Amino acid sequence: MTELSHNPDVVILGAGAAGLMCALTAAQQGRRVLVLEKANKVGKKILMSGGGRCNFTNYFVEADNYISNNPHFCKAALKRYSPWDFIGLVERYEIPFEERQHSQLFCLHSAKDILAMLLQECAQVGVEIQAQCELQKVEALAADGASRYAVHVVINGVRRTIECHSLVVATGALSIPTLGGSGVGYELAAQFGLAVTARRAGLVPLMFSDQTRALCERLSGLALPVSVSCQGQTFRENLLFTHRGMSGPVILQISNYWAPGDSISIDLLPAEDAAAWLMALKHEQPLTHLKTVLTYKLAKSLVAELEVLFWPSLAGSKLAEITDQQLRQVGEQLNHWLLKPSATEGYRTAEVTLGGVDTAGVSSKTMEAKQQPGLYFIGEVLDVSGHLGGFNFQWAWSSGYSAGLVV
Ligand SMILES: Cc1cc2nc3c(=O)[nH]c(=O)nc-3n(C[C@H](O)[C@H](O)[C@H](O)COP(=O)(O)OP(=O)(O)OC[C@H]3O[C@@H](n4cnc5c(N)ncnc54)[C@H](O)[C@@H]3O)c2cc1C
């Protein structure tokens, strides 16, 4: 962009998933839209998402897939712009995609396809996008004028003031600062009297101290299907041991429910009553060593670690030499491995931020601040966070669209 429009109707702060969806929707309604982006490139998180393939939505999106102080807040927007609406757009652009487990939809080739689609939609309806734009401050103007907000920015070293009727905050949240994570949305919310709920890293690996950390380090790279429970929630997916602790989809999911001090319970044989399985084997293969039968279902390296941790006295024992009670205890350890994480890896690697602008101050239909006409909050800056599986982008599309219709 060479010259800024003198009078955009709408200024959107942040050219991420929500900001771009809002921009193209508003411009399709005939609004003149200017998107201001801090980074040198737009849509960085889209490009990095889903391992470069962007898990752009999910076939089954429900309010239960979201965490918020108000679990009902997300419903209206998700209804107004559903996964099927976004899938329709993707199909119109003939972007190849695939369904993976848990009904997650990913690009077959590249996340670049999604960003290119959004940018083309924006270009077709004349959305202007200015990258490398440094936001200085936002002011509310006198209520009687045509413009309601003045946005003070620095672009290429030049100070500018842009006036607009509607201002949309789509600046995302704190996760991964190198991909644009910032707290500016919360500062703007506070400036205009909106409450902000407590925030913490979500969809994030868990870390451990002492011997569990050392164990994870030794098993680093090993992945296995498990189920993990915490605070009454259970997820069943892959766990990955890393040199810092545990990751993989199941850990990212449970991290949304974990708070410091909580234990997590890992079921290493989620399809199995491990004690019953071991008791049956004791009758069928009494002369086989315990460590051998465990390797029928678990990696040898993991079995060796568990043995040291939980049943060192049985290390060289055949099943026939182990009492029923001891076998049941081994089974219990396999189905309920209790661990106390020391911390999460924090915003550096978190896929989302839990908490954010309190939805109590925002209309669930339009995303407009209830006490501040013309000011909108969309996407991750709000206190709405999804499970892993395409739910966070769907929230960005749905909330961006809802605001785009009315700004
Ligand atoms: C590594 C990674 C992988 C992910 N994979 C998936 C996935 O596959 N599926 C899924 O559903 N979700 C995924 N997510 C989550 C998803 O990316 C976010 O929920 C989503 O991008 C939020 O959209 P948003 O528009 O609210 O914020 P963002 O996409 O973060 O966009 C915010 C934009 O605002 C800009 N900005 C910040 N401050 C300012 C400022 N002061 N002035 C102007 N601009 C500013 C930022 O640079 C950024 O471009 C992933 C997240 C990460 C980090």
Q: Are residues 276 and 237 located together in one domain of the fold?
A: yes
| Res 4: pLDDT | 59
Give yes or no: residues 157 and 189 share one domain.
Answer: yes
The confidence score (pLDDT) of residue 147 equals 86
Q: What angle do CA 208, 211, 214 make, to 5 degrees?
A: 75
Within 10 angstroms of residue 234's Cβ, the number of other Cβ atoms is 16
Residue 399 Cβ < 6 Å to ligand 1: no
Q: Is 5 contained in some domain?
A: no
Indicate whether 115 and 190 sit together in one domain.
Answer: yes
Cα(45) to centroid(ligand 1), Å: 5
Within a domain: residue 105? yes
Please tell me the predicted confidence (pLDDT) of residue 3.
54
pLDDT of res. 210? 85
Identify the domain boundary among 344, 369, 389: 344
Residues 335 and 355 in one domain: no
185 lines ligand 1 (CB under 6 A): no
Note whether residue 1 is domain-resident.
Answer: no
**Ligand 1 atom nearest to 184, measured from its CA:** 41
| 171 and 245, same domain (yes or no) | no
Whether 171 and 185 have beta carbons less than 8 Å apart is answered as: yes
Pocket test for ligand 1, best of 22, 49, 61, 112 (most atoms within 8 A of CB): 49
Q: Whose CA is nearest to atom 49 of ligand 1?
A: 16
Q: Identify the domain boundary among 299, 316, 344.
A: 344
Give the pLDDT score at 7: 79
Same domain, 108 and 186: yes
Residues 393 and 56 sit within 8 Å (Cβ to Cβ): yes
Residue 292 lies in a domain: yes
Q: How far is the CA of 15 from the centre of ligand 1 (A)?
A: 9
CA nearest to 1, candidates 142, 130, 139 = 130
391 in any annotated domain: yes
Query: How many domains are contained in the chain?
Result: 2
Question: Is residue 371 included in any domain, yes or no?
Answer: yes
CATH number, position 396: 3.50.50.60
Q: What is the CATH number of the domain that holds 233?
A: 2.40.30.10
Ligand 1 centroid–CA 210 distance in Å is 34
How far does the centroid of ligand 1 lie from the alpha carbon of residue 361, in Å? 22
State whether 166 and 194 are in the same domain: yes
Same domain, 92 and 210: no
- Domain of residue 313: give its range: 206-344
Ligand 1 mean position to 16 CA, how many Å?
5
Q: What is the dihedral of CA 22, 28, 29, 34, to 10 degrees?
A: 50
- 50 CA closest ligand 1 atom index: 8
pTM of the model: 0.96
Within-domain flag for 2:
no
Q: Is residue 23 part of a domain?
A: yes
- CB of 354 closer than 6 angstroms to any ligand 1 atom: no
pLDDT in tens, the chain (407 residues): 445 556 799 999 999 999 999 999 999 999 999 999 999 999 999 999 999 999 999 999 999 999 999 999 999 999 999 999 999 999 999 999 999 999 999 999 999 999 999 999 999 999 999 999 999 999 999 877 788 999 999 999 999 999 999 999 999 999 988 887 789 999 999 999 999 999 999 999 999 998 999 999 999 999 999 999 999 999 999 999 999 999 999 999 999 999 999 999 999 999 899 999 999 999 999 999 999 999 999 999 999 999 999 999 999 999 999 999 999 999 999 999 999 999 999 999 999 999 999 999 999 999 999 999 999 999 999 999 999 999 999 999 999 999 999 99
**Residue with the nearest Cα to atom 22 of ligand 1?**
380
Residues 268 and 362 in one domain: no
Ligand 1 binding pocket includes 389 (Cβ within 6 Å): no
Closest ligand 1 atom to residue 36 Cα is 43
Domain final residue, candidates 300, 325, 344: 344
In a shared domain, residues 337 and 363: no
* Closest C-alpha residue for ligand 1 atom 3: 49
Q: Let me know whether 133 and 232 are in one domain.
A: no
Same domain, 210 and 295: yes
For ligand 1, whether the C-beta of 19 sits within 6 Å is yes
Task: Assess whether the C-beta atom of 182 lies below 6 angstroms from ligand 1.
Answer: yes
